Chains A and B, each alone.
Chain A
Amino acid sequence: MKFKTFAAFVGPSVFMMILFIALPLMSVFMESFKNTYDMREPIEVETCTPGFLTQTCVTEVKNVPKLGEDGKPIKITEWVGFESYRSVLQMDKFWAAIGSGNLGDILQIDFWKALRFTLMFTLLTLPLVIGVGLLIALTVNNAARSVKGPVIFVSLLPFIITPVIGSLSIYWLFVGDGILTSMMERWTGTNISMFAQAWTIELLMYFYRVWHVAPFAFVIFYAGLQSVNMDTLESAVIDGASRLQRLRHVIIPHLMPLIVFIAIIHLMDCYRVFEEIVGFRSQAHVISLQWLTYDFLVPDDAGNRAISRASASAMLTMIGIVLLLIWPLRRTWRDHKGGAH
């Protein structure tokens, strides 16, 4: 391909990537080293609030932002270096916990608590998604031609549901007086509260995520199964290979690039787990890294937001994803280099 043609094809997408990915990333990166706040002055303010019949007035000193000439608060921006990272990571407490041998104390720090869950969530659901996806794909592939269409349609349904709605539905099904909980309570005769302790919530989250993402893996694997070399399979049958041996030595090696592809997508997606936390209202028991960033960004009643800590937390999340992706990316890179010659 001529360079000019190549540039014309790739140019727009490179431009979009710079505009929508690189530039915002840069600005978040810069934000994480800065801290912006309002310039404040203490003034004595008399505030009157209504009682039921009378009014109570109190005079107190309040720290209110100073308004500039344009009627807007004067902002001060300071370069704080790694201070935001320090307050997110709280390494001093981390090392103190390790030093004293109370490893449980590490999980008292929001970031490490979130990291523990996020990593477990990502790494535990990965094999499940690949396994379940492959299982559905093999089942559908071996199903009679007449039922294939409907079966594919039904298996794809969970993937169509928006994650927030999906997690909310699971929440309402399993909450204290939800339909499924009531049914289970009737069968077992005990009071079941799935959302009262961390482990049941986590279990539901794993279940939900696998249910939601397995169809995606299934579609990819199903497409891959259509290209399995029939000659190899037939010769394997003639050689007396069992179904399991054919799977292990012919089908899985053939699907390996797809497995790596799904792993990459899943790692990226799962490390940003957020919907389950909000949908399941699990903040008291389980939080994720993405939720932590969100929590920093939500303004409180007085309008405060921890933007620089949110930026730091977002950068840390990105670093985490990059670390997780190194292994599968290296593998793809090797495969492609090998295949090019």
Chain B
Amino acid sequence: MLKKLALAGVVSLMGTTVWSACAFENTTEVKSLSAGFEAWKAVTDAMAECGNVQAELDQEFRTKQPAAFEANPALYQIGGVSNGTITPLLNAGTIRPLDDLVAKYGQNLAPNQLIKIDGKIMAVAMMVNTQHLMYREDILSDLGIAVPTTWDEVYAAAEKIKEAGVVEYPLGATMKSGWNLAQEFVNMYPGFGGQLFNDDNTTAVNSEAGIKALETMKAALPFTDPEVLNSDSTTVQQQFQQGKIAMANLWASRGGAMDDAAESKVAGKVKMAAAPIAMDGGAPATTLWWDGIVIATNISDEDADAAFRVAMEGMDEEMVTANNEAAIWLIPGYVPGPLAKGAIDTATANPAPPAYPSTTQMGLLHTALGNEIPAFLTGDRDAAATLTAIEEAYTTSAKEAGVLK
């Protein structure tokens, strides 16, 4: 035991003092704030090899980032963002264009890693993320069920699994009231061909597609944990790992955890397929996301220089080779494994699912969706009334935010 402790101490020291894996020795203090899932851990660990790097991995990053970047000097040099969370930083002008830095240090970047907004590179993406169908291959093949490709097939399969009684609940869903539940709607609704907004910034969710999306979401309830309105991505991931559920439309970034033998009882049994489609000829009912880094505006150019170099070290081929399964990397050197199949099938589907639209309006609508849909799922309100309530809630907040007149 003591030996192990000593060894652990030596290893952790090595992380801070030896720069063998980093091409240069960083002398400027660099801090980063990002989300806390597996891929970010891999990237920030690789950045730390350059020395003087402090990485904060925090699931509350989305509420902390805007204020921390607005400070002068900014509290962090590097921010980890996704297409959903970059908006407040862009709007407030607290992240800087990266064209110069990319020209200087970005030789190894693939063109599709560069996130251009209005012609300027504002972020460098490292991975793509999407929801896709994860399923227990052993259960489906035992029961002779083909891998579902549509939501109707998902529910038909769930019915059979329920009858067979091999797992506690056939389906898992990230329907925690609030952000998660709203995201489920944002996945389903475009799958039925729905438009989120009209040209004049009013919302268009109060539509035929909206009714269908809500009804399809509700159809999952007989197959899920009765407490599904509490369950977020982590809950679903754990239910999968414990062998309690057989299928779920879950984030690709959670795939690696399924095969982690240290915490998963079902390692090797979970397979990924494209996100189910909602209607014939429609796109998979999901949204495409990317995760990547941004650099703060309110820091000196030297600091930005150092921060960008460190970030490039964190996002290099070496890191990808060591953490191939942690994400669907965009970085050269990535070899898509079996876990990536579902996400790639989803992203390359024809028609392709939309990217999550990151705008001020979308933020407001997301909140309205997350607050109003629970009443529909608990049966307190019908679909039409729920959509009206969403529309009203959105209109109120959009007027307050100056988006609607």
- Which of B362, B381, B400 contacts A306, CB < 8 Å? B400
Residue contact A281 to B176, C-beta cutoff 8 Å: yes
Mask for A282-305, Cβ within 8 A of B = 1, else 0?
Answer: 011100000000010011111110
Residue contact A176 to B227, C-beta cutoff 8 Å: yes
What chain A residues lie within 8 Å of B381 (beta carbons)?
Answer: 108
| Residues of chain A from 257 to 314 with CB closer than 8 A to chain B in the complex | 281, 283-285, 295, 298-304, 306, 308-309
Counting CB contacts under 8 A, is B312 at the interface?
no
- Which of B62, B226, B344, B364 contacts A196, CB < 8 Å? B226
Residue contact A62 to B359, C-beta cutoff 8 Å: yes
| Residues of chain A from 13 to 50 with CB closer than 8 A to chain B in the complex | 35, 37-40, 43, 45-50
Residue contact B364 to A300, C-beta cutoff 8 Å: yes
CA distance A83 to B361 in the complex (A): 21
Q: B84 → chain A, closest Cβ, in Å?
A: 5
Q: B380 → chain A, closest Cβ, in Å?
A: 7
- Which of B92, B115, B358 contacts A301, CB < 8 Å? B358
Residue contact B360 to A304, C-beta cutoff 8 Å: yes
Counting CB contacts under 8 A, is A54 at the interface?
yes
| Residues of chain B from 342 to 360 with CB closer than 8 A to chain A in the complex | 343-344, 347-348, 352, 355, 358-360
Residue contact A46 to B116, C-beta cutoff 8 Å: yes
Q: B86 → chain A, closest Cβ, in Å?
A: 9
Residue contact A108 to B125, C-beta cutoff 8 Å: no
Mask for A169-209, Cβ within 8 A of B = 1, else 0?
Answer: 00000011100000000000001011111100000000000
What chain B residues lie within 8 Å of A245 (beta carbons)?
Answer: none
Q: Known A38-B91, A55-B111, A300-B364; judge A49-B227 contact (CB<8 A).
A: no
Number of interface residues of B (CB under 8 A): 72
Q: A41 → chain B, closest Cβ, in Å?
A: 11
Q: Which of B113, B297, B360 has the most CB of A within 10 A?
A: B360
- Which of A37, A52, A303 contacts B402, CB < 8 Å? A37
Q: A92 → chain B, closest Cβ, in Å?
A: 11
Mask for B78-115, Cβ within 8 A of A = 1, else 0?
Answer: 00000111011011110000000000000000011111
Question: Which of B3-11, B149-157, B317-325, B369-377 faces chain A?
Answer: B369-377
- Which of B83, B92, B297, B400 contacts A65, CB < 8 Å? B92
Residue contact A301 to B230, C-beta cutoff 8 Å: no
Number of interface residues of A (CB under 8 A): 57
- Which of A45, A51, A309 contacts B117, CB < 8 Å? A45
Residue contact A193 to B226, C-beta cutoff 8 Å: yes
Q: Which of A40, A302, A308 has the most CB of B within 10 A?
A: A302
Q: B245 → chain A, closest Cβ, in Å?
A: 12
Mask for A59-75, Cβ within 8 A of B = 1, else 0?
Answer: 00011110100011100
| Residues of chain B from 129 to 161 with CB closer than 8 A to chain A in the complex | none
- Which of A49, A53, A110, A308 contacts B355, CB < 8 Å? A49
What chain B residues lie within 8 Å of A295 (beta carbons)?
Answer: 371
Residue contact B403 to A308, C-beta cutoff 8 Å: no
Q: A184 → chain B, closest Cβ, in Å?
A: 15
Residue contact A48 to B116, C-beta cutoff 8 Å: yes
Residue contact B402 to A40, C-beta cutoff 8 Å: yes
CA distance A35 to B125 in the complex (A): 36
Residue contact A303 to B347, C-beta cutoff 8 Å: no
Residue contact A308 to B400, C-beta cutoff 8 Å: yes
Counting CB contacts under 8 A, is B54 at the interface?
no
What chain B residues lie within 8 Å of A197 (beta carbons)?
Answer: 378
Mask for B368-405, Cβ within 8 A of A = 1, else 0?
Answer: 00010011011011000100010000001100111100
Counting CB contacts under 8 A, is B187 at the interface?
no
Q: Known A110-B371, A285-B229; judge A302-B400 contact (CB<8 A).
A: no
CA distance A64 to B361 in the complex (A): 10
Counting CB contacts under 8 A, is A232 at the interface?
no
- Which of A56, A285, A306 contacts B397, CB < 8 Å? A306
CA distance A301 to B358 in the complex (A): 8
Counting CB contacts under 8 A, is B367 at the interface?
yes
CA distance A304 to B347 in the complex (A): 29
CA distance A51 to B129 in the complex (A): 10
Residue contact B113 to A50, C-beta cutoff 8 Å: yes
Q: Known A176-B225, A283-B178; judge A50-B118 contact (CB<8 A).
A: no
Counting CB contacts under 8 A, is A87 at the interface?
yes
Residue contact A193 to B227, C-beta cutoff 8 Å: yes
| Residues of chain B from 294 to 318 with CB closer than 8 A to chain A in the complex | 297
Q: B72 → chain A, closest Cβ, in Å?
A: 10
Counting CB contacts under 8 A, is B128 at the interface?
yes
Q: Known A50-B125, A63-B403, A304-B363; judge A281-B116 contact (CB<8 A).
A: no
- Of all chain B residues, the one with the shortest Cβ separation from A110 is B371
What chain B residues lie within 8 Å of A281 (beta carbons)?
Answer: 176-177, 230
- Of all chain A residues, the one with the shortest Cβ separation from B67 is A299
Counting CB contacts under 8 A, is B119 at the interface?
yes
Residue contact A51 to B360, C-beta cutoff 8 Å: no
Counting CB contacts under 8 A, is A57 at the interface?
yes
Residue contact B400 to A35, C-beta cutoff 8 Å: yes
CA distance A72 to B364 in the complex (A): 21
What chain B residues lie within 8 Å of A57 (beta carbons)?
Answer: 116
What chain A residues lie within 8 Å of B244 (beta carbons)?
Answer: 177
Q: A314 → chain B, closest Cβ, in Å?
A: 16
Counting CB contacts under 8 A, is B283 at the interface?
no
- Of all chain A residues, the one with the shortest Cβ separation from B63 is A299
CA distance A87 to B371 in the complex (A): 15
Counting CB contacts under 8 A, is A10 at the interface?
no
Q: A188 → chain B, closest Cβ, in Å?
A: 15
Q: Known A50-B113, A56-B355, A65-B91; judge A301-B363 contact (CB<8 A).
A: yes
CA distance A176 to B343 in the complex (A): 30
Residue contact A49 to B396, C-beta cutoff 8 Å: no
Residue contact B88 to A302, C-beta cutoff 8 Å: yes
The 4 closest A-B pairs by CB, nearest first: A302-B363, A303-B88, A196-B226, A284-B177
Q: Which of B's residues lie within 8 Å of A, judged by CB?
A: 62-63, 66, 70, 83-85, 87-88, 90-93, 111-119, 125, 128, 176-179, 181, 201, 225-227, 229-230, 242, 244, 288, 290, 297, 328, 330, 343-344, 347-348, 352, 355, 358-364, 366-367, 371, 374-375, 377-378, 380-381, 385, 389, 396-397, 400-403
Would you list 22 pairs from A and B whose C-beta atoms are within 8 A, ordered by A residue?
Answer: A40-B360, A45-B117, A72-B92, A73-B92, A87-B396, A108-B381, A175-B227, A177-B244, A193-B226, A196-B227, A196-B229, A281-B177, A284-B229, A299-B62, A301-B362, A302-B87, A302-B358, A302-B362, A302-B363, A304-B363, A304-B397, A306-B400
Q: Which of A's residues lie within 8 Å of B, judged by CB?
A: 35, 37-40, 43, 45-57, 62-65, 67, 71-73, 76, 87, 107-108, 110, 175-177, 191, 193-198, 281, 283-285, 295, 298-304, 306, 308-309
